[in-house]
Amino acid sequence: MDVKIDILTLFPQMFDVFNYSIIGRALRNNILSINTIDIREFTKDKHRKVDDYPYGGGAGMIMTVQPIVDCIKEVKTRNSGKVIYLGPRGKTFNQSIARELSRESELIFLCGHYEGIDERVYKYIDMEISIGDFVVTGGEMACIPIVDSICRMIPNVLSSKESYMEESFYNGLLEYPQYTRPECFQGNDVPEILLSGHHENIRRWKRAKSLIITRNKRPDLFKKISLSEEDKKLIKLYDENR
């Protein structure tokens, strides 16, 4: 499966991070492709400007409409995916959106900069995503974690399906505690149940701890969970603060 992602940006070099680790391996194995396109290459301004003062006044500069639209149109000739703008009006990104977008075979991300984009660009945008109610330097800073989150759920990017299915947020819960060697470190032991080899008991412990940690750390998430009768019993069994 070859998934194509094009990123429209003023700073292509910022996305070199994808050449490393898990995503870098997926790129080398041709499981997906991530291409950066410099919006500045499409400006018709002789000084290569891509920003200007806003009509009506206001602080800062705005990315101009012409280079962005021409860039989108050119990329659309080889990528039919949704155009996704990283901006403050968008729905806040979460695991559900990541899962939805990971099923797409082609995507286009538009990174804004300065004080935003000319309003007329929105005509060419299919979806807007925000990473939260705070300000970052540019859309690139939001695009990196979003693309990473999407890519790791594409088949064969990770070594096994379980690698992401048991991670925090995938099923609406925070992840259970995990341990590795040594078995005892400065008087702190690995829970005995994890050394037992009893797979069903281990599964029940992991489920219980995931539920309890989510309840304690993220009650907002816990409220959305529909607890089974087994879940309720497991919480009572393993809740150390009861």
Task: Report the pLDDT averaged over residues 211-238.
Answer: 95
pLDDT tens digits, one per residue of 23-62: 999 999 999 999 999 999 999 999 999 999 999 988 899 9
pLDDT tens digits, one per residue of 156-191: 999 865 466 666 676 889 999 999 999 999 999 999
Of 241, 234, 221, 237, nearest to 95 (Cα)? 221
Q: What is d(CA 14, CA 142) in angstroms, rounded to the nearest whole number?
A: 12
CA angle 223, 204, 149 (to 5 degrees): 60
Task: Report the pLDDT averaged over residues 92-111.
Answer: 97
Do strands 62-63 and 51-52 pair parallel, antiparallel, or not at all (unpaired)?
antiparallel
pLDDT tens digits, one per residue of 190-216: 999 999 999 999 999 999 999 999 999
Quickly tell me which residue has 């989510």 as its tokens: 214
At residue 210, the pLDDT reads 94
> Binding site residues, as ranges?
112, 131-136
Q: What is this structure's pTM?
A: 0.87
At residue 161, the pLDDT reads 55
Provide the residue ranges of all domains of the chain, joining segments of one domain with +: 3-151, 166-238
pLDDT over threshold 90, residue 240: no
Domain 3-151 and domain 166-238, same fold? Reply is no
Q: What is d(CA 132, CA 88) in angstroms, rounded to the nearest whole number?
A: 8
At residue 172, the pLDDT reads 86
Per CATH, the homologous superfamily of domain 3-151 is SPOUT methyltransferase, trefoil knot domain (3.40.1280.10)
Q: What is d(CA 188, CA 20) in angstroms, rounded to the nearest whole number?
A: 34
CATH code for the part of the protein at 166-238: 1.10.1270.20
Give the lowest-confidence range in 13-17, 131-135, 164-168, 223-227.
164-168
> Binding site residues for S-adenosyl-L-methionine, as ranges?
112, 131-136
CA distances from 82 to 28, 95, 157, 173, 201 (A): 24, 18, 21, 29, 45
Q: Could you give the residue ranges of the DSSP H alpha helices within the chain?
A: 21-28, 65-76, 95-101, 139-151, 162-165, 199-217, 219-222, 229-238
Q: What is d(CA 107, CA 15) in angstroms, rounded to the nearest whole number?
A: 16
More confident residue, 164 or 5: 5
At residue 1, the pLDDT reads 53
Residues 6+ apart with CB under 8 A from 237: 208
The answer to whether the CB of 86 falls within 8 A of the CB of 146 is yes
pLDDT tens digits, one per residue of 66-96: 999 999 999 999 999 999 999 999 999 999 9
**Cis peptide preceding 54, ω within 30 of 0:** no
Tokens describing residue 26: 């997926």
